[in-house]
Amino acid sequence: MSSFGLPAGTVTQAPAPDLIDYDLIAPQLSGGKDSALMMWLTMEAARVAGVVDRVRSYHASLGLLEWPAVTYAGDRWPGVSELAARQSAAFGLPADRHIEVTRTLPAPDGGRLPHSLLTEIAAYGRFPRRGSRYCTKCAKESVVSAAWTPFVTRHRKETGRPMRILKVMGLRREESRDRSKLVPYRNVLTNSARVVDEWLPALTWSTPAVLEWCQDHPDLRAWTYDSVPGAGDWAGTSRCSCSYCVFGSKRDLLLAVGRRPRLAALYDEVETVRGDSFRPDYRIHDLIHLAAGPDAPDPGVVCDDSGPEFDALVAQVRAALARPPRKAVDLARRSAGLASCALC
Ligand code: SF4
């Protein structure tokens, strides 16, 4: 903040951005309820400013780690990536302006292969923690930032000045202690090629207000929020991004174990081989036992998690585990305390 109470270094010198000041308005969709709300707020603001043509939405896909599509009682319910695309289209953005990105690695045939966050965890040797939240950086922020690069390069060539990017996210203060400290508008990066400001238009929305807003948009709602797909009772997981978020609540994690047992077994393998626990307070190994107990929440639905894509993930993770970890295991066992997810 400047001495006048205005955000320091932002393109618009005001408490909130004027969207007309930006070359690219980039909402980042997670596929969850706050993401849908944020997309609506962004498009409303872009319409008022007359700059809808500058909006491009992004979804950093976590592949098989995010909540997948399921079939329940004969109906198919979309997974997180599909929901992110729906959320973008629902408020008027053409399909070719929604961009799904994912982390990849060079493939032996010269192409690119998806590089899962779980493979990265297996290779690194420890799970993300507060103070080392590398998951959001490597699987989301850096991937979206790289997707901006062609626009940034072209813009610099055409105008001779840095591209002004407004990154828009759906974080809300009520969600956690970490998020309660966030400011709605700030500069996050300035260099000779790009100026990136962050805007959180849903920051002060209360949870009841968001749930009420969601009632009018049932097609944009993730099935995992409910006890069973379509129940509409909000009795499922409280969040919807990685099924196994290292900052998730115990209940969310128990539901994830019940709903995705094969993926739980793969996390358990990483935990066992590397000797680090999934979280400082819970091992996946113990959650698997707890999820089978009488006090565990009813998963309601079990995801298939089979087929060539899942087999490829298992093979990739095991290949990473067969090599020495990049981080020493004794360091890996140290924990840095609990946190809530600050970015997803
Ligand atoms: S959902 Fe959780 S584990 Fe997944 S990238 Fe975000 S913070 Fe990391």
Q: Is the residue at 330 inside a domain?
A: no
Eight-state DSSP code of residue 204? T
Phi, psi (5° rounding) for residue 48? -60, -40
Phi, psi (5° rounding) for residue 66? -85, 165
How many whole angstroms from 245 Cα to the centroid of ligand 1?
A: 5
How many whole angstroms from 242 Cα to the centroid of ligand 1?
A: 6
Q: Are 40 and 91 in contact (CB under 8 A)?
A: yes
Q: Is the residue at 44 inside a domain?
A: yes
Nearest CA, atom 4, ligand 1:
242
Q: Is the residue at 207 inside a domain?
A: no
Q: Kindly state the tokens that stand for 165.
A: 């990017």
Nearest CA, atom 2, ligand 1:
245
The CATH number of residue 152's host domain is 3.40.50
* Cβ(60) – ligand 1 distance below 6 Å: no
Burial class (CB in 10 A: 0-12, 13-18, 19+), 108: exposed
Q: Nearest Cα to 228, choosing from 304, 302, 305?
A: 302
Q: Is the residue at 271 inside a domain?
A: no
Q: What is the pLDDT along the chain (344 residues), one digit of tens a residue?
A: 665 678 889 999 999 999 999 999 999 999 999 999 999 999 999 999 999 999 999 999 999 999 999 999 999 999 999 999 999 999 999 999 999 999 988 777 888 878 899 999 999 999 999 888 899 999 999 999 999 999 999 999 999 999 999 999 999 999 888 899 999 999 999 999 999 999 999 999 999 999 999 999 999 999 999 999 999 999 999 999 899 999 999 999 999 999 999 999 999 999 999 999 999 998 999 999 999 999 999 999 999 999 999 999 999 999 999 999 997 766 655 544 444 454 56
Alpha carbon separation from 214 to 50, 104, 112, 170, 343 (Å, rounded): 26, 33, 37, 14, 21
Enter the pTM of the model: 0.93
Eight-state DSSP code of residue 320? H
Q: Which atom of ligand 1 is nearest to the CA of 246?
A: 3
Q: Kindly state the tokens that stand for 331.
A: 């360091």
- What was the pLDDT predicted at 318? 98
Q: Is the residue at 173 inside a domain?
A: yes
How many whole angstroms from 298 Cα to the centroid of ligand 1?
A: 23
Sheet with 194-199, edge to edge strand ranges: 24-27, 163-168, 194-199, 185-190
Say whether 114 sits in a helix, a strand or coil. Answer: strand
User: By residue range, what is the domain housing residue 149?
Assistant: 19-199
* H-only helix segments in the chain: 33-49, 80-90, 117-124, 134-136, 142-159, 177-180, 207-215, 250-259, 261-274, 284-291, 308-321, 329-333
* Cβ(341) – ligand 1 distance below 6 Å: yes
How many whole angstroms from 6 Cα to the centroid of ligand 1?
A: 31
Q: Nearest Cα to 264, choosing from 294, 223, 297, 292?
A: 292
Which residue type is seen at 168?
V
**Pairing status of strand 163-168 against strand 24-27:** parallel
Q: Are 140 and 146 in contact (CB under 8 A)?
A: no
Q: Nearest Cα to 36, choosing from 216, 182, 175?
A: 216
Q: Is the residue at 246 inside a domain?
A: no
How many whole angstroms from 290 Cα to the centroid of ligand 1?
A: 22
How many whole angstroms from 343 Cα to the centroid of ligand 1?
A: 8
Q: Are 122 and 274 in contact (CB under 8 A)?
A: yes
Alpha-carbon distance of 148 to 53, in angstroms, equals 16
* Cβ(277) – ligand 1 distance below 6 Å: no
Q: Kindly state the tokens that stand for 19.
A: 């969207």
Q: Are 103 and 118 in contact (CB under 8 A)?
A: no
Nearest CA, atom 8, ligand 1:
135
Q: Are 136 and 343 in contact (CB under 8 A)?
A: yes
Q: Is the residue at 36 inside a domain?
A: yes
- What was the pLDDT predicted at 28? 98
Q: Are 188 and 157 in contact (CB under 8 A)?
A: no
Q: Is the residue at 222 inside a domain?
A: no
Number of domains in the chain: 1
* Cβ(135) – ligand 1 distance below 6 Å: yes
* Cβ(245) – ligand 1 distance below 6 Å: yes
Nearest CA, atom 7, ligand 1:
341
- What was the pLDDT predicted at 337? 43
Q: Which atom of ligand 1 is nearest to the CA of 117?
A: 5
How many whole angstroms from 256 Cα to the centroid of ligand 1?
A: 14
* Cβ(67) – ligand 1 distance below 6 Å: no
